[in-house]
Structure 1
Amino acid sequence: MTDGGQGSLLAQPLQRPSAARVAAHAGLFLLGAVTGLAGTLVQAAWFPGGLLLALVGAAGLFLGGAYATGGRGGAVAPVAGWIVAVVLLTTARPEGDFLFAAGGTSYLFLLGGMALAVICATLGAGRQPRGGPARLGK
């Protein structure tokens, strides 16, 4: 399959990420964990507004991370932090304390957050090849 003489635009070699990109993704991971923790506390406190606030905050972080870094990895980093925090908070502790009740709101938060994670990672700005706009059929 030929690329019409535009091989330099379509097939760019992968490069090692810069230190700034690694730091940005690590910061987004931590922000995702904090958002998961805050969402866990808020979603049960003020129903239904707390649930909506938690989900909108998570979606904003996921999609904002994708646009801030210019790639879908910027959405995946906070999603990973959110999932790690939420999964760690779903386990019951030996003292009997837990943050998630066995109600519909908790399940809506967990499943809604995961659905938003997939949507935002899919809609996030993917990396585009560099160069000017091309017209087909020239």
Structure 2
Amino acid sequence: MRPLRIAAYALLVVVGAVVGIAGALVQSAWFPGGLLLALLGLAALCYGGLYATRARAGAWSPAGGWLMVVLFLTATRPEGDFVFGSGVGSYLFLLGGMFAGVMCATVPKVPQPPASATRLGK
């Protein structure tokens, strides 16, 4: 792998983590609009990573960063503080985000470069 591609994947992981933090705060603040905004943001980032890198790892990278941060935020602290409540919105955010990341990484075909006018082997 080239260093530029590795840097792109690392950047996608970091941006996925930022989207996870923002989504965790927005999804409960403006329910149900915030939940939809958070899930659409993750789906757009994953598909954009897939399209930009032309590899499935481009979709898995932001989904992995999102998942690491969201799982970290679900843990309670010794003081009793936590980010996620026990409502339906939190569970929809967790399951919907995982579904969106997996869907973007597995369902669409990786975009191919434009085909040339000539056939191969001719």
Please report the TM-score for the alignment, with normalisation by the length of structure 1: 0.80
SS of equivalent residue, structure 1 residue 25: helix
Alignment check: 8 A CA contact 2:54 2:112 kept: no
Residue 62 (structure 1) aligns with: 46
Residue in 2 that maps onto 1:50: 34
Partner of 2:16: 32
Gaps of 5+ in 2: none
Structure 1 contact 89–100 (Cα < 8 Å) conserved? yes
Indicate the structure (1 or 2) with the bigger Cα radius of gyration.
1
Gap runs ≥5 in structure 1: 1-16
Aligned to 1:14: none
| Identity across matched positions, percent | 55
The superposition leaves residues 64-120 of structure 1 with CA deviations (integer Å, 9 ceiling, x where unpaired) of: 000000110100100110000000000000011101000100000000001111110
| Aligned mates of 1:116, 1:52 — CA distance in 2 | 12
Matched, 1:89 2:73: yes
Q: Distance in 1 between matches of 2:103 and 2:62?
A: 13
CA contact (8 A) 1:66 1:124 kept: no
Counterpart-to-counterpart distance in 1, 2:9 and 2:108:
15
Which structure 1 residue ranges, 4+ long, deviate > 2 Å from structure 2? 123-129, 131-135
Higher helix share: 2
Computed over aligned residues only, the root mean square deviation of the Cα atoms, in angstroms, reads 2.2
Q: Which amino acid aligns with 2:15?
A: L
